[in-house]
Structures are given as structure tokens and as C-alpha cells.
A and B are shown apart, each in its own frame.
Chain A
Amino acid sequence: SQQGEEDPQALSIQEGENATMNCSYKTSINNLQWYRQNSGRGLVHLILIRSNEREKHSGRLRVTLDTSKKSSSLLITASRAADTASYFCATYPSGSARQLTFGSGTQLTVLP
């Protein structure tokens, strides 16, 4: 079952702009992860943020986590056409078996 929702469902921006995607979840978590999926391909792990962290950076990626609101955001700065893909958040709930649950995903299109 899906843990939560992502918004927007689809986002279209121009190259060079920033893209922000949001993820909400329902249960307590141990960590939250963001993945990228190119069309018809497997998933690529982007970044993991633990429940006791509030913000994390990796290159052009910035992730925030607000456990009180059960939400996270992924910011991609200075976007490139190659960033076009679907982005999913996935939560690792507290106390469970090692089972990731995925959000509904955001389809990002970066126009050259």
C-alpha cells in the first residue's frame, strides 16, 4: 500500500529553474528516501534523510523533513533537461520489517 501522496503529480519547468516536489506520509518513520526513475527503468537512490535530521544536501539536491507535519520536500536547483524523470519519496517506517513504502510520485519535465 502507498504511504502517502506527492505533489504536484506533474511539474514542467524550464532548464535552469528550480523544481520543488513535496511528499506527505502517514505513519512514524525511521527515515525517508528519494528515488528517481527514468521512464521504463529501475529506481536510482538519490538521498536519505533520517527522522532526526531536518535538512540534507547532495549536489544540486536539497531535502527537508518535517516530522511534526509528516512531510518532506525535494528541491532540485538549476535543473537540466537530463533531470526529466519521475521522482518518488519512500518511507521506512519505525518498528517495521525493512519495507519501503512509496509515495505516488511526481513526473518532472525540464524543457530545454
Chain B
Amino acid sequence: GAVVSQHPSRVICKSGTSVKIECRSLDFQATTMFWYRQFPKQSLMLMATSNEGSKATYEQGVEKDKFLINHASLTLSTLTVTSAHPEDSSFYICSATDLIYGYTFGSGTRLTVV
């Protein structure tokens, strides 16, 4: 089956620094990737939709200058949280989709900003 690798699984960073999260589709080409954010005991909230080679589409209320998304190839999308602050601490999950496998989710990244 399809596998999406998300890295790192956990990261702790200092306030004001930037953190990059990678999402890779390992055995299929993902035309579209999605980034979600999940606060404790809450549901997944879509942050942005990323298509290979084009600019990401951000959901309302998500700062595109703060959450930089790059989808440079059909197997890799990155989310960079710039100038992170404690309120950015959350669980970030990516998802990749193609016509055969549908949606496949990464294992998530726990970001803690101290």
C-alpha cells in the first residue's frame, strides 16, 4: 500500500526560530498534498492544499507568510513554521493523495516551541 513518511516525528525549538517539516510519498506520486494542524483532543483542521509546482492554497485564517509550504516535486512537500512561538505548538499532519490510493496520512509531527 501507499506510505507517506513525515519527518521529524517530534521537534522542540526555541521561540523565534524556524522549523521545517517534510512529507514524502514513498511509493507513489502525489499530485496533491495537504497540511493539517491538530490541537490536543481536537479534530484535524486543514491549513493548506499544496499542488506540485504551484503555490499552496491556504485556508482562511492561516498565515501564509508564517507557514511556508513548498511542493517542489511529486513526492515531497515541506512545511516551514517561521519565527515559531509557543502558540504554534501543535501536532502537524500531512496527507498525500493520488487516484489509486486515495488519501494517505503521515504519522505526524509534534512541535513544541519553548
Interface, chain A (partner B; CB < 8 A): 1-2, 33, 35, 40-45, 48, 88, 97-105, 107
Q: Is B6 an interface residue (CB 8 A)?
A: yes
The answer on a CB contact under 8 Å between A88 and B34 is: no
Residue among B34, B44, B59, B91 making CB contact with A40, cutoff 8 Å: B91
**Considering the chains assembled together, what is the distance between the CA atoms of A88 and B6 in angstroms?**
20
Q: What's the nearest-Cβ distance from chain B to residue A38, in Å?
A: 10
Interface, chain B (partner A; CB < 8 A): 6, 32, 34, 36, 41-46, 49, 57, 59-60, 91, 93, 95, 97, 102-108, 110
**Considering the chains assembled together, what is the distance between the CA atoms of A8 and B42 in angstroms?**
14
Residues A45 and B44 in contact in the complex (CB < 8 Å), given A1-B59, A100-B34: no
The answer on a CB contact under 8 Å between B103 and A33 is: yes
Residue among B41, B44, B46 making CB contact with A88, cutoff 8 Å: B44
Contact partners of A41 in chain B: CB under 8 A: 107-108
Residues A48 and B108 in contact in the complex (CB < 8 Å), given A2-B43, A40-B91, A42-B6: no
* Pairs A-B, 10 closest by C-beta atoms: A42-B107, A43-B105, A102-B44, A42-B105, A102-B43, A42-B108, A104-B43, A105-B43, A98-B97, A42-B106
**Considering the chains assembled together, what is the distance between the CA atoms of A45 and B49 in angstroms?**
19
Residues A107 and B41 in contact in the complex (CB < 8 Å), given A45-B103, A100-B95: yes
**Considering the chains assembled together, what is the distance between the CA atoms of A107 and B40 in angstroms?**
12
Contact partners of A97 in chain B: CB under 8 A: 32, 49, 57
**Considering the chains assembled together, what is the distance between the CA atoms of A33 and B46 in angstroms?**
16
Residue among A40, A48, A103 making CB contact with B102, cutoff 8 Å: A48
Contact partners of A104 in chain B: CB under 8 A: 42-43
Contact partners of A35 in chain B: CB under 8 A: 105
15 A-B pairs with CB atoms under 8 Å apart are: A2-B43, A33-B103, A35-B105, A40-B91, A42-B105, A42-B106, A43-B44, A45-B104, A45-B105, A48-B102, A99-B46, A102-B36, A104-B42, A104-B43, A105-B42
